[in-house]
């Protein structure tokens, strides 16, 4: 069964550094998402992406964040200057249609020191 893949599984970075989290969505899916989960807390929406542009973003997704689909398969989340509070599990997800189930990757655990 096709799945969403995320790399790396764990990323450690120093405060102020830039990080790029990578995702390969399921190939015939059209909608892409990033969510994050601070340890032990709820899963929070960051951004959705469709037709090569951001379709919705949350208050969390400020100017430090950006997303890109640089080619036909990858979907990346960049954090320009990481802060301690960016430490979380970041999940990429994709769906075939707008309201169909989101399929999540296994997540990237980001640790900012």
Partner 1 sequence: AQKVTQAQTEISVVEKEDVTLDCVYETRDTTYYLFWYKQPPSGELVFLIRRNSFDEQNEISGRYSWNFQKSTSSFNFTITASQVVDSAVYFCALIWNSGNTPLVFGKGTRLSVIA
Residues that bind partner 1 (CB under 8 A): 33, 41-45, 48, 50, 55-56, 58, 89, 91, 93, 98-107, 109
User: Cβ 43 to partner 1, closest distance in Å?
Assistant: 4
Nearer Cβ to partner 1, position 15 or 43? 43
CB of 81 or CB of 98, closer to partner 1: 98
- Min dist CB 103 to partner 1, Å, is 7
> What are the φ and ψ backbone dihedral angles of 84, each rounded to 5 degrees?
-55, -40
DSSP track, 31-96: EEEEEEE-TTS-EEEEEEEETTEEEEE-TT--TTEEEE--SSS-EEEEESS--GGG-EEEEEEEES
């Amino acid at each position: 069964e096709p799945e969403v893949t995320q790399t790396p599984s764990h990323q450690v970075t120093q405060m102020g550094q830039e990080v790029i989290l990578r995702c390969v969505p399921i190939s015939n899916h059209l909608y892409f998402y990033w969510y994050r989960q601070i340890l032990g807390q709820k899963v929070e929406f960051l951004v959705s992406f469709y037709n090569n542009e951001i379709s919705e973003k949350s208050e969390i997704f400020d100017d430090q964040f950006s997303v890109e689909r640089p080619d036909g398969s990858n979907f990346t989340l960049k954090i320009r200057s990481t802060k301690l509070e960016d430490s979380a599990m970041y999940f990429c997800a994709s769906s075939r249609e707008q309201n169909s189930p989101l399929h999540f990757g296994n997540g990237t655990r980001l640790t900012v020191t």
